[in-house]
Amino acid sequence: MLQNKLRTVIVDDHPIVIEGLKNLLKNESNIELIGGFQNGADIMLYLESGKVDLILLDITLPDVNGMDLCLKIKKKYRSTIVLILSNRTERSIVVQTIQNGASGYLLKNSSLDELRRCIAEAVNGSICYSKEVTEILSRPSRNELLAAPRLTKREKQILELIAQGKTSQAIGEELFLSPLTIDTHRKNLLQKFQVKNVAELIMSANQQNLF
Amino acid sequence: MLQNKLRTVIVDDHPIVIEGLKNLLKNESNIELIGGFQNGADIMLYLESGKVDLILLDITLPDVNGMDLCLKIKKKYRSTIVLILSNRTERSIVVQTIQNGASGYLLKNSSLDELRRCIAEAVNGSICYSKEVTEILSRPSRNELLAAPRLTKREKQILELIAQGKTSQAIGEELFLSPLTIDTHRKNLLQKFQVKNVAELIMSANQQNLF
DNA sequence: TTTTTTCTACTGGTTTTTAGGTATTTTTCG
DNA sequence: CGAAAAATACCTAAAAACCAGTAGAAAAAA
């Protein structure tokens, strides 16, 4: 395991961060830096051609959400390790990314030591958080006791349209579906979020950073 | 002016960013990198002893606000050039920092070219923004466009209860008012926010940080 | 103290959502 | 392939929200 260097890429929309990480990691004996990408599309494209062992991934990207991207990567390339490196401190985001298969979550103000430690643990198969993230996770916001529901693609899409104030009728027309179908999705959304009506639904979705 | 290198420091709470900038700037002929600081107190302390020509300053710092820090620095060390390098895209923040004496504002996803150009212009005495920032400044803040509606006390209170998923019936009982009265307030809220239903109402209120 | 705003409440009618369900087809995944 | 999950669509009926008005009382501002 150690004889082979980890083929590593960095995905971050800030070139400065990419440069910084490259610099920080270039002297690591077990890491071979392959490159940096500034958006989700580029890294997905690259993954098709080259083997990658480790991805350092930001949450905030210009084209896709880092959480979704993580899931997409893990689905297609199971063995690739994804470590999240982000500024976002919302508990819901941390939990979501881990559910989506990430092997760890670090804040960008982590030290090199922490990064090193997390990479080592991730390679080992365990999940690792930077100090501050551990703290975020340890104080259970009572909001999160109701675990963030896993939504299907359709549900996310319809939730989005509901948030825009559209009626089931209008959504049905937009998606070429029966309004009755939209009603069913609506019902399922309310159930998944454990709320009684759209007002609560939108509040809850907002608190969980779904928009 | 050009014979003397610019004595430059970086202030950013993310060590990774500091590393990245150092790396990006180390080959610049007119820049002498002195060091990086992770908070406001450290840089203020340093300034007392050493001369600094250029400060690359982040807005988000652990101890003080970058805008305030900028003002403090400019008051005490008039000739020191402060360039803001931040992720924050709020128009109000950009305007405020410039008013506080900063010589420019760049987003962290700026290219090295942009950074180089801005440093040159700042030395020249003019104010320089990265491309995206220019755009932010040119489009009238959406706060100005969708003026946040002025809500009465009652309306705020009822909005709050609506967001909790309560029906007009329930709200009426809670406030000892007729449900018909609540309906009127509801109607007025929709009108003030210029939306069609609660879904949009809650979204809008959330975007305006009313909760 | 006028004037204006806010708060209150109503009428009457329409549209939309919500709450129980059931049930078939299509996708996805092991 | 077969099973599970997701997406589709329907029924009935009640509840709630939305629309378009009017209007008096209370409070705040001019």
CA dist B129 → A10, B148, B194, B203 (Å): 27, 28, 34, 32
The range of the structural domain enclosing residue B18 comes to 6-140
With CA atoms as reference, report the closest residue to A149 among A181, A101, A191, A89: A191
Identify the DSSP state of A8: E
Checking if the pLDDT of B201 tops 90, the result is: yes
pLDDT for res A142 = 47
Could you tell me the pLDDT band of residue B1, with boundaries at 50, 70 and 90?
A: very low
Does A96 share its domain with A194? no
Q: Which of B16, B38, B162 sits opposite A20 (nearest CB)?
A: B16
Q: Where are the beta strands (DSSP E) in chain A?
A: 6-11, 31-37, 54-57, 81-86, 104-107, 128-129
With CA atoms as reference, report the closest residue to A163 among A205, A118, A103: A205
pLDDT for res B148 = 67
Checking if the pLDDT of B143 tops 70, the result is: no
pLDDT for res B101 = 86
Over chain A (211 residues), the average pLDDT of each successive run of 10 is 76 86 84 91 88 91 86 86 88 82 87 86 86 74 58 92 94 93 94 93 89 81
Checking if the pLDDT of B55 tops 90, the result is: yes
pLDDT for res B140 = 60
Mean model confidence pLDDT for chain B? 86
pLDDT for res A145 = 47
CA dist A127 → A6, A95, A101, A159, A184 (Å): 17, 12, 10, 31, 37
Query: Which of A16, A39, A56, A166 is the best mutation test for B, with the most CBs of B within 10 A?
Result: A16
**What value does the mean pLDDT take over residues B142-153?**
66
Distance B210 CA to C1 C1' (A): 37
Say yes or no: Cβ of B154 under 7 A from any atom of strand C. Answer: yes
Do the beta carbons of residue B9 and residue B35 sit within 8 Å?
Answer: yes
pLDDT for res B147 = 59
Residue B101 lies in a domain: yes
Chain A contact set for B18 (CB, 8 A): 20
The domain spanning residue A187 has which CATH number? 1.10.10.10
Residue B14 lies in a domain: yes
Does B32 share its domain with B88? yes
Q: Which chain C positions come under 7 Å from a protein C-beta?
A: 5-11, 15-23, 29
Taken in order A57, A96, B62, B209, is the CA torsion positive or negative?
A: positive
Chain B contact set for A165 (CB, 8 A): 195-197, 199-200, 203
Residue A174 lies in a domain: yes
Residue A1 lies in a domain: no
CB atoms within 10 A of CB A172: 18
Do the beta carbons of residue A162 and residue A186 sit within 8 Å?
Answer: yes
Residue B1 lies in a domain: no
Residue with tokens 């895209």: B89
Could you tell me the pLDDT band of residue B174, with boundaries at 50, 70 and 90?
A: very high
The domain spanning residue A98 has which CATH number? 3.40.50.2300
Say yes or no: Cβ of A197 under 7 A from any atom of strand C. Answer: yes
With CA atoms as reference, report the closest residue to A154 among A133, A177, A136: A177
| More confident site: B182 or B109 | B182
Cβ distance of B163 and A203 shorter than 8 Å: yes
Does B19 share its domain with B118? yes
pLDDT digits (tens, 9 = 90+) for B114-135: 888 899 998 888 888 888 878 8
